[in-house]
Amino acid sequence: MSKVVKFGGSSLASAEQFKKVGDIIRADEERRYVVPSAPGKRTKNDTKVTDMLYACYDLTEEDKDFSKELKAIKARYQEIIDGLGLSLSLEKEFQTIEKNFKDKAGSNYAASRGEYLNGIIMAEYLGYEFIDAATVICFDEEGEFDAERTNKVLSKRLAKCDRAVVPGFYGALPDGTVKTFSRGGSDVTGSIVAKAAKADVYENWTDVSGFLVADPRIIKKPKGIETITYRELRELSYMGASVLHEDAIFPVRQEGIPINIRNTNAPDDNGTWIVGSTCQKSKYVITGIAGKKGFCAVNIEKDMMNSEIGFGRKVLQAFEENGISFEHVPSGIDTMTVFVHQDEFMHKEQKVVAGIHRLCNPDSIDIEADLALIAVVGRGMKSTRGTAGRIFSALAHSKINVKMIDQGSSELNIIIGVANADFEDAIKAIYDIFVETSI
Ligand code: ASP
């Protein structure tokens, strides 16, 4: 058995946090491969080391003095080293970093040093081997992640060591230039390492005890999600629920490796299990609710639209020509509505409208702005009668006008469009009916 454990920035922000992480790793023999983030915030108003590095490197780009900023970064690491009682010195590393900054090694290189240095400390603290991610996480010449090559190189490397630390967030192009994933990318590294190690579990340790049924900024102390499938998670993350980097799902999903989201500050909590499929029913029929504000609905009407072959394609072409992606397209007999992101659409609005007129000669086009979309997601909906009925009676009861309904054929989710102003109340109503009054 082997487990890959990834720790987020807040789990490694200070020596105190490092000690908790050390205890967690030592408590389970199987936790053999460790993927650390850079030190995150120690307090609410603190700055993440990654952000300090970006800011520091910006100064070098402008040929300004960055010694004070680099010193502050060094101090963050020294505080951890001292707090852990290690005799490690990062002096040489910082000399190299300073030189490379002066040589304009790039902001990717700069940001990656956060994880790199934390990895060195972690390896020293645990007595594990250190593997520089630049030697095992491969990007191609175009800067795209090269999954195949990485898996080959990394699995070969891991087979040679029983226990190792692989810093998160970065890798390298074929010529050795350091390249990072997008922000929060250590989650992706963790997943890649889990795949290459053929791990039984990918544990992702953060500062919350897993996913919640709804956004805690809207629902006070929402219930946690015990088990969620990859597909459900995709739906929820797409709609704004965030704990894990979106791309972190793919490498482990292909291998059927479950992800367990855990809380470094409450290690006894079970957290959330993300799995391929499960016979475990979710507690409340629905697994989770998420949503986003800021959509526009473009309603197109044309008599006999239903019999005009290619009408839908032509409408969507007008959006495509303007580089706008659509979210949902509910349609009636003589009407079709296209939901788009308001901020993407706003400044191209008239061009799109002109395009629709040119391409499909509609009777009328009407635009409604300031809409929100809410996704009610649950694998349990398929086998439960009345889910939609319960949602809509709850919304009606709360006097919320439903502007759009879209249920995917997978019966995994129901998407509801409401006015931005009704967004929070709608989520409360749905949460209440399924979670608070669930029987
Ligand atoms: N340190 C990087 C960031 O702040 C990557 C990560 O933590 O996953 O985005």
The mean predicted confidence, pLDDT, of the chain is 94
Atom nearest to 8 CA in ligand 1: 7
* 305 compared with 425, residue with greater pLDDT: 425
Q: What is the pLDDT of residues 274-301, one digit of tens each?
A: 998 888 777 788 999 999 999 999 999 9
pLDDT in tens, 74-92: 999 999 999 999 999 999 9
Q: Is the CB of 181 under 6 A from ligand 1?
A: no
Q: DSSP secondary structure string, 191-218?
A: HHHHHHTT-SEEEEEESSSS-BSS-TTT
Q: Is the CB of 48 under 6 A from ligand 1?
A: yes
Verify whether ligand 1 is closer than 6 Å to residue 244 (CB atom). no
- pTM: predicted TM-score of the whole model, two decimal places: 0.88
For Cα atoms 162, 209, 287, give the angle at the middle one, nearest 5 degrees. Answer: 110
d(CA 168, CA 181): 9
Ligand 1 within 6 A of CB of 387: no
CA 114 to ligand 1: nearest atom: 1
Residue 242's beta-bridge partner residues?
Answer: none
- Position 225: which residue type? I
Angle at 206 between CA 203 and CA 209, to 5 degrees: 85
Residue of 50, 187, 193 to test ligand 1 pocket, by largest number of atoms within 8 Å of CB: 50
Indicate whether residue 182 lines ligand 1 (CB < 6 A): no
**What average pLDDT does the segment 312-322 reach?**
95
Q: What is the pLDDT of residue 333?
A: 87
Rounded to the nearest whole angstrom, what is the distance from the C-alpha of residue 272 to the centroid of ligand 1? 21
Whole-number pLDDT of residue 387: 87
- What's the mean pLDDT in 63-77? 96
Site to probe by mutation for ligand 1, drawn from 76, 115, 187, 264 as the one with most ligand atoms within 8 Å of Cβ, is: 115
Average pLDDT of the residues in 381-394: 87
Per-residue pLDDT, averaged over 41-64, amounts to 96
Q: Does residue 434 line the site of ligand 1, with CB under 6 A?
A: no
pLDDT confidence of residue 284: 85
In the numeric block, which tokens belong to residue 181?
């994933």
pLDDT digits (tens, 9 = 90+) for 220-262: 999 999 999 998 998 888 887 777 898 999 999 989 999 999 9
| Ligand 1 mean position, distance from CA 187 (Å) | 8
* Cβ of residue 185 lying under 6 Å from some atom of ligand 1: yes
**Cβ(9) – ligand 1 distance below 6 Å:** yes
Ligand 1 pocket, mutate which of 183, 188, 244 (most atoms under 8 A from CB): 183
Instruction: Assess contact for 178 and 112: CB atoms under 8 A.
Output: yes
Point out the least confidently predicted range of 97-106, 230-239, 361-370.
230-239
pLDDT band at 214; cut points 50, 70, 90: very high
Substitution site in 6, 53, 186 for ligand 1 pocket (most atoms within 8 Å of beta carbon):
186
Assess whether pLDDT exceeds 60 at residue 439. Answer: no
What is d(CA 429, CA 433) in angstroms, rounded to the nearest whole number?
Answer: 6
- Closest atom of ligand 1 relative to the 185 alpha carbon: 8
d(CA 402, CA 417): 6
Instruction: List Cα–Cα distances, 408 to 33, 52, 88, 142, 375, in angstroms.
Output: 39, 43, 55, 35, 11
Going from the C-alpha of 268 to that of each of 205, 209, 339, the distances in angstroms are 12, 10, 43
Best-predicted range by mean pLDDT among 26-40, 328-342, 404-418?
26-40
pLDDT for the residue 189: 98
Cβ of 210 closer than 6 Å to ligand 1, yes or no, is no
- Between 242 and 93, whose confidence is greater? 93
Nearest CA to ligand 1 atom 8: 184
**Token pair 């850079």 is at which residue?**
38
Rounded Cα–Cα distance for residues 79 and 147 (Å): 36
The pLDDT, as a whole number, for residue 157 is 97
Ligand 1: residue whose CA is nearest its atom 6: 184
Q: Which atom of ligand 1 is nearest to the CA of 38?
A: 1
Q: Is the shortest distance between the CB of 134 and ligand 1 below 6 Å? A: no
Q: φ and ψ at 366, to 5 degrees?
A: -130, 135
Nearest-angstrom CA–CA distance, 85 and 298:
62
Q: How many CB atoms lie within 10 A of CB 261?
A: 26
